[in-house]
């Protein structure tokens, strides 16, 4: 069980690091651990917003320092969420299975809520005005942690935004390859995980490929990128509109729309015997389960697991190989900046 970091749990005893109140953030590298020199914390957006509302821009630095001092990790006690971090490998234990080498620049793909963290610079370079936190300190990865080596050929911001959603294209690839030229529908095909999933589905041998997006502007962008055979516009939360928009139900439906209420539309748009992969964290388990039952829909419904072996390299390779996907990502970053 050491590979899950149980030996780093100080309180309460016997729980997993994510459930723990307090972790041991000592920077001595255990046999199957990796210790990182931290460069930057990326706080989860919901957590940063809550802390800023409670403490103000002036008080948010102190609030994060207090959390780390008390808990040995960044886990907002109100939202329960954390974020991720960038750093450089300082030490690798002899039994670490992660394949990292001293000097590698990495992003952690497991949450800060389970990552032992020490801060040594009082976060003095952070003005509190954004969730990007320049930081000097150390963090610990366990045997079962996940970290991606940052590529030399892509800007950090672009690589991080791909790594943030890298589970979606990897699982889409796996599900599509199980069938022979299945028709694939991606709800939210214009977004980050949606566009990568479209590209992954095409490469995995999808037959007819349909993207559903909420606006004409987004439809134009996806059409111009050539990521789908058909692009349709509908509100993914309206089951009847979704069913009307797609002329035939799909063999595989991938849900990448991060708003609640997309379960029934996905079910209606999927053929009997088909598979739905839900990647949105806004998915409701009972709504999906009872919806399929109420519609007598014989569909397989997968909870989109964010971890698939090799997912980070797979997503970065997709971005490199598909200029259209890269253009959509860069366009999105420009808009947000």
> Closer CB to a copy of itself, residue 196 or residue 227?
196
Residue of 14, 94, 152, 334 that binds a copy of itself (CB under 8 A): 14
Q: Does residue 45 belong to the site contacting a copy of itself (CB under 8 A)?
A: no
* 43 bridge partner residues: 83
Q: Does residue 299 belong to the site contacting a copy of itself (CB under 8 A)?
A: yes
Query: Considering only CA atoms, which of 299, 309, 306, 314 is closest in space to residue 253?
Result: 299
> Closer CB to a copy of itself, residue 215 or residue 307?
307
From the CB of 300, what's the least distance to a copy of itself, in Å? 7
| Sites for a copy of itself among residues 94-113 (CB under 8 A) | 109-111, 113
Contact stretch for a copy of itself (CB under 8 A) within 14-22, 37-45, 85-93, 127-135: 14-22
Provide the 3-class DSSP secondary structure of residue 64.
helix
* 254 bridge partner residues: 186, 277
Q: Does residue 122 belong to the site contacting a copy of itself (CB under 8 A)?
A: no
Residue of 102, 181, 295, 321 that binds a copy of itself (CB under 8 A): 295
Provide the 3-class DSSP secondary structure of residue 321.
helix
From the CB of 134, what's the least distance to a copy of itself, in Å? 25
For 257, what's the count of Cα atoms within 13 Å in the CB-facing half-sphere? Answer: 27
Cβ within 8 Å of residue 190, ≥6 positions away: 211, 213, 218, 219, 221, 222, 328
Q: Does residue 252 belong to the site contacting a copy of itself (CB under 8 A)?
A: no
Pair of tokens at residue 221: 């962008």
Count Cβ atoms below 10 Å from residue 251 Cβ, excluding itself. 22
From the CB of 128, what's the least distance to a copy of itself, in Å? 26
> Closer CB to a copy of itself, residue 75 or residue 210?
75
Q: Quick one: DSSP state of residue 283?
A: -
> Closer CB to a copy of itself, residue 44 or residue 104?
44
> Closer CB to a copy of itself, residue 128 or residue 182?
182
Whole-number Å distance between alpha carbons of 92 and 100:
7
> Closer CB to a copy of itself, residue 139 or residue 209?
139
Provide the 3-class DSSP secondary structure of residue 293.
helix
* 232 bridge partner residues: 212
Residue of 11, 15, 53, 323 that binds a copy of itself (CB under 8 A): 15
Q: b vs e for 220-245, b when ≥16 Cβ sit within 10 Å of the residue's Cβ?
A: ebbeebebbeebbbbbbbebebbbeb
| Sites for a copy of itself among residues 138-157 (CB under 8 A) | 144-146
Q: Does residue 4 belong to the site contacting a copy of itself (CB under 8 A)?
A: yes
Cβ within 8 Å of residue 142, ≥6 positions away: 2, 3, 4, 5, 8, 17, 32, 33
Asked if 85 and 107 touch (Cβ cutoff 8 Å), the reply is yes
> Closer CB to a copy of itself, residue 146 or residue 209?
146
Residues that bind a copy of itself (rule: CB under 8 A) add up to a total of 52
> Closer CB to a copy of itself, residue 128 or residue 169?
169
Pair of tokens at residue 151: 């590529």
- Note the residues at the interface with a copy of itself (CB under 8 A): 1, 4, 6, 14-16, 18-19, 109-111, 113-114, 144-146, 167, 238-241, 243, 264, 268, 278, 281, 283-286, 288-309
């Amino acid at each position: 069980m050491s590979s899950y970091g149980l030996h780093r749990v100080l309180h309460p005893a016997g729980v997993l690091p994510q459930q723990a109140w307090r972790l041991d953030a000592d920077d001595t590298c255990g046999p199957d651990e990796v210790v990182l020199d931290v460069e930057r914390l990326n706080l989860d957006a919901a957590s940063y917003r809550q802390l800023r509302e409670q403490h103000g821009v002036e008080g948010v630095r102190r609030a994060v320092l207090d959390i780390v001092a008390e808990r040995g990790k960044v886990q907002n006690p109100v939202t329960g969420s954390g974020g991720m971090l960038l750093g450089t490998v300082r030490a690798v234990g002899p039994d670490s299975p992660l394949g990292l080498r001293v000097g590698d620049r990495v992003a952690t793909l497991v949450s800060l809520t389970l990552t032992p963290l020490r801060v040594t610079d009082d976060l003095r370079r952070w003005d509190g005005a954004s969730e990007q936190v320049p930081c000097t300190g150390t963090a610990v990865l366990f045997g079962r942690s996940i970290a991606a080596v940052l590529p030399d050929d892509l800007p950090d911001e672009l690589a991080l935004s791909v790594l943030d959603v890298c589970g979606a294209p990897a699982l889409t690839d796996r599900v599509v390859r199980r069938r022979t030229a299945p028709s694939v529908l991606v709800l939210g095909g214009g977004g980050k995980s949606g566009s990568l999933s479209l590209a992954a589905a095409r490469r995995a041998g999808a037959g007819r490929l349909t993207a559903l997006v909420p606006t004409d502007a987004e439809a134009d962008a996806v059409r111009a990128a050539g990521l789908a055979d058909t692009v349709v516009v509908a509100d993914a939360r309206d089951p009847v509109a979704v069913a009307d928009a797609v002329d035939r139900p799909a063999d595989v439906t991938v849900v990448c729309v991060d708003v609640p209420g997309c379960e029934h539309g996905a079910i209606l748009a999927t053929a009997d015997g088909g598979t739905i992969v839900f990647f949105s964290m806004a998915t409701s388990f009972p709504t999906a389960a009872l919806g399929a039952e109420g519609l007598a829909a014989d569909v397989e419904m997968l909870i989109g697991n964010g971890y698939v072996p090799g997912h980070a390299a797979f997503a970065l390779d997709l971005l490199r190989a598909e200029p259209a996907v890269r253009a959509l990502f860069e366009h999105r970053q420009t808009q947000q900046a």
